[in-house]
Amino acid sequence: MKLTRKVKEILSWYESDNPGTKANLARILMTGKLGGTGRMVILPVDQGFEHGPARSFAPNPAAYDPHYHFELAIEAGLNAYAAPLGPIEAGAASFAGCIPTILKVNSSNSLSTTKDQAVTATVADALRLGCSAIGFTIYPGSEYQFEMMEELREMAEEAKSVGLAVVVWSYPRGPMLDKVGETALDIAAYAAHMAALMGAHIIKVKPPTEAIFLDAAKKTYQSHPVEVKDAAARIAHIVKACFNGRRLVVFSGGEAKGADALLGEVRAIHAGGGNGSIVGRNAFQRPKEEALKLLADIIDVYKTKA
C-alpha cells in the first residue's frame, strides 16, 4: 500500500514513535472510504459498559450481537472499530485483518458513584487480538484523575514499546464541573491538551459548547477571544490545543439525535480542521440501512476539500 502525502505528513508529526506504531497509525489512516485523506470515522461500542445493554442496544436489537458492529464498521467503510475486550474477542477470528481495531482497555459503568474507570484489558490482549491501538479514558477533574493519568502513562509506555498506537478519550467530569462545565470550550481545550501532553496519538473529546467555565480562564478568553458562537471556530480552538494541529483529534457523536443535527456538527468539525468523528450511538442505534446512509453522508462531508 502506498501512503498518501497527507498520511506521510501526519506520521512525521509523531517524531518519537517506532515503525510499529507508525504502521498501526497508517493502517487506521489508510483504511476505509476516507483512507489517505487524514480524516477518520471510527465506530466506538463501549456503551454496553458505560450505559448498560438495554439503553445501548434495545433501540436496534441486532446490535446485541458483537459481530454486528464489525460488519457495520466494515460495510460503512470506516477507519476503525473500538470496543472493550469481550466484543473484540467475540469477533476476533471472523474479522481478523478486516478492519483496524482499538482495544478499549479501561471502562466505567452507570452503577458507579465515583468518576473513575477500571482497567479491563491489557496491552498483551491488544497484541494477541491484532489490534492497532489501545483506547484509554481519562476524566480530567475527577477525584481519581491523577491515578487515571498514571495508569495511562504506564499503559501508553507499554503500548508504544510494542508498536501500538494510543487513543485517549479525554472526558472532563468531577466535583467542580457541572454539565455546562464538562463540555465548555475552555475545559474541552484543556482536556484535549492534557491528552496531547500525555502522549496520545489520537485524542477524542466531545464537541465543545460556547461556554467558558473556569474563572481563571475567562480573562484570557476576553483578551484573546474565540468566535464562540461559531461551531467551526470552537473546533479550530480544540485543534490548536492539540499541539497546533500536530496531533489527530476526533469528536464524539453523543446521544442519538436527528441526522441533520449530527451532520451539522460534522460540517463544523470538517470546517474547523478536526480529523473526524467517533460515532457510536448515532450509528448502531439506528436500523442498519439508516446507519449506513448516515455514515455515508458523514464520510461525504469529510471527503470534500476544506
Nearest to 167, CA basis, from 16, 28, 13 = 28
- Pairwise CA distance, residues 26 & 218, whole Å: 39
Question: Which residue lies nearer to ligand FBP by CB, 26 or 205?
Answer: 205
Task: Work out which of 57, 171, 251, 302 binds ligand FBP, going by CB under 6 A.
Answer: 171
Which segment (73-81, 146-154, 220-228, 276-284) binds ligand FBP by CB under 6 A? 276-284
Least distance between ligand FBP and beta carbon 303 (Å): 21
Question: Which residue lies nearer to ligand FBP by CB, 279 or 299?
Answer: 279
Task: Work out which of 22, 25, 30, 46 binds ligand FBP, going by CB under 6 A.
Answer: 46
What are the two backbone dihedrals, phi and then psi, of residue 180, each rounded to the nearest 5 degrees?
-65, -45
Q: Does 279 bind ligand FBP (CB under 6 A)?
A: yes
Answer left, alpha or beta for residue 80, where phi above 0 means left and psi between -120 and 50 means alpha: beta
Q: Does 281 bind ligand FBP (CB under 6 A)?
A: yes
Residue nearest ligand FBP, CB atom distance: 280
CA angle (97, 101, 105) in 5-degree steps: 140
Task: Work out which of 14, 81, 169, 302 binds ligand FBP, going by CB under 6 A.
Answer: 169
Q: Does 44 bind ligand FBP (CB under 6 A)?
A: yes
Least distance between ligand FBP and beta carbon 97 (Å): 24
Position of cell 467558558?
212
Q: What does R_g of the chain's alpha carbons equal in angstroms? A: 18
**Paired strand residues for 250:** 204, 276
Site for ligand FBP in 115-144 (CB under 6 A): none
200-226 per-residue burial string, b: 16 or more CB within 10 A, e: under 16: bbbbbbbbbbeebbeeebeeebeeeeb
Question: Which residue lies nearer to ligand FBP by CB, 253 or 274?
Answer: 253
Q: Does 183 bind ligand FBP (CB under 6 A)?
A: no
Q: Does 50 bind ligand FBP (CB under 6 A)?
A: yes
Q: Does 91 bind ligand FBP (CB under 6 A)?
A: no
Task: Work out which of 28, 193, 280, 299 binds ligand FBP, going by CB under 6 A.
Answer: 280
Alpha helix stretches (DSSP H) within the chain? 5-13, 19-30, 47-51, 53-57, 66-76, 85-91, 123-128, 145-161, 179-183, 185-197, 215-223, 231-241, 259-271, 281-284, 288-303
Contact set with ligand FBP (CB under 6 A): 44, 46-47, 50, 169, 171, 252-254, 278-282
